[in-house]
Amino acid sequence: MKVLITFDLKSTRILLFAIGIGLLSLLVSCGNNFGLKIGDQDVYAFGSEEPCNFITSNGFRVSWKSDPPVNIIITSSVPSEYDSEILKAADIWNSVKGQQLVHIYRDNSFKNDPGYDKVNAIYWMPDWDTDLSNQQARTSVRWDSSKLQDADIRINAKNFTFFKEGDESTAGKVHLQSLVLHELGHAVGLVHIEETASVMQAYLKSQTIRNKPGAVDTSSLSCEY
């Protein structure tokens, strides 16, 4: 049994609280697995939200809520020569928010494969799905209710080569810092958008540096962080 209730934003919190208690009772009685997480209270109190270019689930934005910084491991699979570019990408998002939104560090002892282990990690993938060979990278995220639980970034090292700041040879290569910046956007909950001023456009052309979040990216982040 599924129940959908839309709350009027002008309603009083008292009424919303009363309806919320009734809804929770109904969900329990129907045998649904429903969990109200810390940080989600206001989401459920006020009903569905504007997407703000975030992943949405049942009308609610999906993010890390009040948990930043998001800790992300650079795994041993990633060549250490690219660490500085990855860290710079994190610093760009942190500068946009004026706080540490993302914290990235290397841990060569971490050996898990990508998967749901509640450890966020970046992987350098020499093998890639043949039918997805045009995919420069992929970020997989998992959430419970509307709160993110896990994010893994895979970089396609089979079909693409990369350049970093200061490299003389860039022909046919992808700017790694710009690519990681985009994937970190996914890791905090952002989706693709078409605006040319955004770092969340779906594809990054080779030899292109796109490492300055636009006003739309700043505005989107402000909805959740």
At 47 the pLDDT is 59
- β-strand pairing of 137-144 with 147-156: antiparallel
pTM for the predicted model, two decimal places: 0.80
pLDDT tens sequence across 61-89? 999 999 899 999 999 999 999 999 999 99
At 4 the pLDDT is 34
At 31 the pLDDT is 35
Distance of CA 104 to the CA centre of its chain: 14
Which positions ≥6 away from 50 have C-beta within 8 Å?
Answer: 223
Superfamily of domain 70-222: Collagenase (Catalytic Domain) (3.40.390.10)
- Encode the chain (225 residues) as per-residue pLDDT tens digits: 333 333 343 343 433 333 343 333 333 333 333 333 334 444 444 558 999 999 999 999 999 999 899 999 999 999 999 999 999 999 999 999 999 999 999 999 999 999 999 999 999 999 999 999 999 999 999 999 999 999 999 999 999 999 998 999 999 999 999 999 999 999 999 999 999 999 999 999 999 999 999 999 999 999 999
33 backbone dihedrals φ, ψ, rounded to 5°? -90, 100
At 46 the pLDDT is 52
Burial of 124: CB neighbours in 10 Å, binned 0-12, 13-18, 19+: middle
Residues 155, 164 contacting (CB under 8 angstroms): no
